[in-house]
Structure 1
Amino acid sequence: MRSLNNAVVVITGASSGIGKATALAFARRGARLVLGARRAEPLEATAHECRQLGAEALAVPTDVTDEVAVQALAQSAIDAHGVIDLWFNNVGTGVFGPYWEAPVGLQKKVIEANLIGTLHGASAALPHFLKQRRGVLVNMCSMGGWSPTPFAASYAASKYGIRGFTASLRQELTGHPDIHVSAVFPALVDTPGLAHAANVSGRRIDPPGPFLTPEAVAEVVVGLARKPRDEVAVGWPATAARVAYGLAPGLAERGIGAAMRAALRRARPDARSEGAVARPVSTGTGTRSGKPVWHVRGPSAGSLALGGLGLLLGAELLAGVLTRRG
């Protein structure tokens, strides 16, 4: 798309965080938004902010685990505008803590929201793309789609699944050169998402950061509308994690595990919670949560490779130190 003015963009998970930031970013370019999320009031608030920027915006309360609801979201876009130019599968949630500490039903809801919700979105968008002979499908992945995420095993399973699904779907569509399928892999992002996650660890979820801004991720998605790419990392830690795990998966896995266990030991006690995994909560309706953030710069290929090697060596050294300390 050379111009985003009047482009029709569907975004799920648009009531807060990256979804809301992306809606506002497209609104500033004059796109027409069709927004979905479980929470009706925060979703309408996002749509209202988009309208204040001069864009058309329609709020359609949608639970992405409900296939019928996602199909209705797509049909709302077609009924209102006749086409869908870009569909952004953005919903993401997780359960933090040892896998066996959470009911399997709660773990299944993570898979249903993240992975099955992405499948539902693709199933809703692709028939229209094929009819139009064009369209961009963007799936939200994570640096957790490239390397393990200890103490968030079902989240990692969903993200690995999204990456595999996206790559496979891309190959199925090679005969349709104007239909593009992209995946976005951000590092840690400052959104209400951590507060919305379930936590069965008994410890506070408080990563040291620094964090990306959701606006930085939103700009990447906007860029994919103009120039689609297969896989896009946001923030050098995401690329470094990919390089490290690709070069030496065993060493990287042990290092990541040691770092996560050490972080859990240092974390302050906190109440166990199902967060917003099982049902929506009223808190966390903005784009950010207020953590310290840093801005994305464009590192060279050499610096990314060095970053990956540095992460790999640092992880192995940390694993050795923590092992010796017992």
Structure 2
Amino acid sequence: MTRTVVVTGATSGIGRATARELAGRGDRLVLAARSPATLDEVRDECRAAGARAIAVPMDVTEPGAVAALADAARTEFGGVDAWVHTAAVMSYGRFDETPAEVFEQVVRTDLLAAATVAREALRRFRDAGGGTLVLTGSVLGHITAPYMSGYVAAKWGLQGLARTLQQEARETPGVAICLVNPGSVDTPVYRQAANYLGRIGRPPPPIASPERVARAIAHCLDRPRREVSVGRLNVVMRFGFTVLPGVYDVLVGPLMRLAGLTRTPVAPHEGVVFTPNSAGEAVRGGWLPDPARVVRAVGGRAATVASAVRRRLP
């Protein structure tokens, strides 16, 4: 069945991977993000895959923007069957050294904007008789890590919001609320983050691909689930945080500095918290090998070996 799906945060990382995944499945797509030029690229990628897609540049934190996005979906495709919300920003720094306006904008984008999306989506779903909302959380909605206070606070809030919406949705037939919680993912969000720590952040291993998270989101649209975890160590980290809190708190700081931060120095900056950077937007962040590059490299070496073997044959 072909659906009309709104994807907020569609220009980079998980959102862009999800747009591609859903395009390959033939869904009609309403793509939204802050960077018009990049958004047009994603729309063209989806159309090249055979999907009907429109691009709606907008900022989820701007008053009225989410409602206008839903109206655009109704005008173009007659309504909204599903909504996937992936828009998020991040900031690194000690809580007391991070500017208050940066902390507040991270929470505004990652939590309050998600609430705005949920409110609008649920209103449209009720009018249509059903629909599926997929919110993108994080393993950091179940555990904590130093130097990421705004992001952690927002994801804990999103966890509570999603659970409450799921309870209320039991009274609304046809409406499903799903929460997808990735661990570390190979996206540009770490390099694009605001930084007041002096070292660029990175996803600690093991790192999942954004395409893997996108497939989990697509499965939720096909068969809604309350919560899906993507990441091999998510369960282990949650266990340690809950059952051994003293040990967890002793270890998490050194591990964060070792595995969650690069050695690359960086001056304080706001990243994309307030303004997008289209030059940094992509599906992947470069933390995992590029599959296409690996295939080309392996193919090139195989051709070289084959050529050498042929030259030695009589």
TM-score tier by shorter-chain length is 0.7 to 0.9
CA distance in 2, matches of 1:100, 1:259: 21
CA distance in 1, matches of 2:70, 2:160: 24
Please give the root-mean-square deviation of Cα atoms over the aligned residues, in Å.
1.9
- Residue 265 to residue 36, structure 1, CA distance change in 2 (3 Å): closer
Give CA-to-partner distance per residue, 1:67-97, whole Å, 9 cap, x none: 3011101111111112211111111111101
Matched, 1:90 2:64: no
Aligned to 2:183: 187
- Residue 55 to residue 170, structure 1, CA distance change in 2 (3 Å): same
Which structure has the larger Rg? 2
Q: Which of 202, 206, 216 is equivalent to 2:202? A: 206
Matched, 1:154 2:168: no
CA distance in 2, matches of 1:81, 1:268: 46
CA distance in 2, matches of 1:76, 1:280: 22
Q: Which of 60, 66, 70 is equivalent to 2:66? A: 70
Gaps of 5+ in 1: 296-326
Asked if the contact 1:212/1:293 (under 8 Å) is kept, the reply is no
Q: Taking structure 1 as the reference length, what is the TM-score of the superposition?
A: 0.85
Question: Percent identity between the aligned chains?
Answer: 37
Q: Which of 265, 270, 274 is equivalent to 1:278? A: 274
Deviation at 1:264, TM superposition (A): 7.6
SS of equivalent residue, structure 1 residue 115: helix
Q: Which of 241, 244, 248 is equivalent to 1:252? A: 248
CA distance in 1, matches of 2:271, 2:262: 22
CA distance in 2, matches of 1:264, 1:252: 15
Aligned to 1:39: 35
Matched, 1:218 2:180: no
Q: Give the residue type in structure 1 aligned to 2:66.
A: V
Q: Which of 220, 226, 230 is equivalent to 1:230? A: 226
Q: Taking structure 2 as the reference length, what is the TM-score of the superposition?
A: 0.88
Matched, 1:243 2:246: no
CA distance in 2, matches of 1:251, 1:293: 33
Q: Which of 126, 129, 133 is equivalent to 1:130? A: 126
Asked if the contact 2:190/2:203 (under 8 Å) is kept, the reply is no
Matched, 1:99 2:99: no
Give CA-to-partner distance per residue, 1:163-186, whole Å, 9 cap, x none: 000001111111123211111110
Matched, 1:290 2:291: no
Q: Give the residue type in structure 2 aligned to 1:222.
A: A
Deviation at 1:269, TM superposition (A): 2.4
Paired residues, number: 291
- Residue 264 to residue 39, structure 1, CA distance change in 2 (3 Å): closer
